[in-house]
Amino acid sequence: MTFDLLFYSSLILLAVGMVVKITQWFSYRIGIQTQNSTFSQRLGSSLKAIPGVIFSPKIGIILKVFILDVLLQYRILKEDILRWVMHMLIFWGFILLFFMHALETVVSDAILPGYFSTVNPYMFLRDFFGCMVLIGIAIAICRRLFLKVPRLSTNKCDVYAIFIVTTIIFSGIFLEGAKIISYTDFQNMEQDYSALEYKEDIFALEAYWVKHYGLVSPNIKGEISQEILSAGEELHNESCLDCHTKPQAAFTGYAVSRIMEPVGGLLDRMGFVTFLYYFHILACFIGLALLPFTKMLHIITTPVSLITGAIMQRDKSDPLNIATRQLIELDACVHCNTCSKTCSQASACDIKNNINILPSERMLSLRQYFKTNDLGSSQFMAIQEGIYLCSNCDRCTVVCPAGINLKELWYDVREDFIRSGEIITPLVLSPFSYNRTYNQDDFNATLSDMPARHAKGIIASKYKKKARSEEPLSLTDTDTEFNASKDHSLAEDTFSYCFSCENCTNVCPVVLNYEKPEEAVDLLPHQIMRSLGLGLKDLVLGSNMLWDCVTCYQCQEHCPQNVKVTDILYELKNEVAKDCFYSQKE
């Protein structure tokens, strides 16, 4: 009765949770192509696509992915053997326990010959599978605590996942141990299966079970005579042997029973078996009910991600379905950190102090972002920086064991983050922007340098622009502090050697490109060097030349005075980035 109540409530919670999750997958907006799609459109286009996949050669790909990547987890093996051993032990141990033990009335009774949970090989196998999971868990804990896996971080979702699986398995093992020593359980079994009439017979059987089956009985103390034992054995052979193997086969439960033996009688009288029973099933049901909202959801989402990733193509699949897949992928991420370990830009995280630079951490932030859609400007800025600080080497996508198409996710979400809102990262003014123009046809970006223009606008509004050509420059509002206050680098100091020969400007391919270069780039390279000497801070920092510089080093190469022109421009750009943009955080 209680079991049914708990079981069905957890099933209902699971169903409700899954409905919530599925609704989210089909209704949250992600990327730029699906801005105005509705829940029904998204669901409709998925349902439309499914038959087309099932009745096509793609079914072969699905089978291959299911066997190789889901069942054998080949993608994990390719990256990390220890992690593969760990995950295979947990995955197969748990799956086999689930079907053989948890679903015994449905599965085992129907398909396994002569199934009894108390008979070998099943009694042994149950413990063996449990033991597999425990070894896997032990490796997982070791990896997180002792082995210094680069960039591996542990959050509360990871702790929960380890905790719930450990609790389920340990409570099961203790329950088994408590049952082995339980006198109450012995009495029940004796009544159910042998129903002996005489007290002496019961005593003999009891004695045999104490001696060979690990039972703790209040009636049996001290040495038992051989006679009683052989009488017990006879009775045992008659009524018990056929369906009860010696508990030593259940090696983990038996080991625990030996630990509990000294206090076995007391535990039994306190109803320890019942307590552990409810504890065990409650742990299982909690795990089941919370499945949609915990990391354990990956047992559903990760196979979906692996399979959809293998059969969907950006240029052929419906953009609505890609959006839905990307939302499922966010839930398929198990925070295993394989991507962050291989990320080309991971080291920037150590300088920038922004964990969103690491793809695995960014996944968590994005999950949060799509749920609430408003995380405050500083978190928005942090994710934007993280997602833009990406050299698009695609290494994360290649290694992701969950088959998440991270590359495409970054493409789409990046567009979301740069097109919405006023806040923009100075990184749009760096070669990180290259990829957006390079791939502009993929996300129909007509003006792919728009974010950079936006950033230049912010810079222009911050620094006063150069007065138009005819007007003489005013030297009265110069910033004498500007040069004195800064922590000068060796390169930057060299501007003072400039004697305005204009060699730098004459060899500059950017200057050469324009008929009226002053209008396009504001200050010509030699003018920047001179203005630095005069302390014309706004003029220098607000100049477009900084961002139009192609860093070809022609100017620096041709300077007769050894002014490090290009290096100075780099330093000025750094200063503008810090000055104009990071202050937006506050």
Q: Which residue ranges make up the site for another protein (CB under 8 A)?
A: 150, 342-348, 350-352, 389, 391-395, 398, 407, 426-438, 440, 448-449, 452, 489-490, 509-510, 513, 547-554, 556-557, 566, 570-571, 573-574, 577
The string of DSSP letters for 135-153 reads HHHHHHHHHHHTS--TT--
Of the pair 65, 511, the CB lying nearest another protein is at 511
Please report which helix (H) or strand (E) contains residue 384, including its range: helix 377-388
Q: How far is the CB of 410 from another protein (least distance, A)?
A: 12
Instruction: Give SS3 for 48.
Output: helix
Q: How far is the CB of 554 from another protein (least distance, A)?
A: 7
Asked if residues 215 and 183 have their Cβ atoms less than 8 Å apart, the reply is yes
Q: How far is the CB of 502 from another protein (least distance, A)?
A: 18
Of the pair 268, 548, the CB lying nearest another protein is at 548
Of the pair 127, 492, the CB lying nearest another protein is at 492
Residue with tokens 């990956």: 298
Of the pair 130, 426, the CB lying nearest another protein is at 426
Q: How far is the CB of 309 from another protein (least distance, A)?
A: 17
Residue with tokens 């003489």: 472
Give the separation between CA 326 and CA 414, rounded to whole angstroms: 13
The string of DSSP letters for 54-102 reads HTSTHHHHHHHHIIIIIIS-HHHHHH-HHHHHHHHHHHHHHHHHIIIII
CA angle 356, 360, 362 (to 5 degrees): 30
Give the separation between CA 363 and CA 567, rounded to whole angstroms: 36
Q: How would you label 7-20 residue by residue, b for 16+ Cβ within 10 Å and e otherwise? A: eeebeebbeebeee
Give the separation between CA 298 and CA 301, rounded to whole angstroms: 5
Q: How far is the CB of 510 from another protein (least distance, A)?
A: 7
CB < 8 Å & 24+ apart, contacts of 419-422: 419/32, 419/451, 421/377, 421/380
Of the pair 150, 376, the CB lying nearest another protein is at 150
Q: How far is the CB of 438 from another protein (least distance, A)?
A: 6
Q: How far is the CB of 564 from another protein (least distance, A)?
A: 8
Of the pair 350, 374, the CB lying nearest another protein is at 350
Q: How far is the CB of 467 from another protein (least distance, A)?
A: 23
Residue with tokens 């998204």: 42
Of the pair 321, 433, the CB lying nearest another protein is at 433
Of the pair 58, 395, the CB lying nearest another protein is at 395
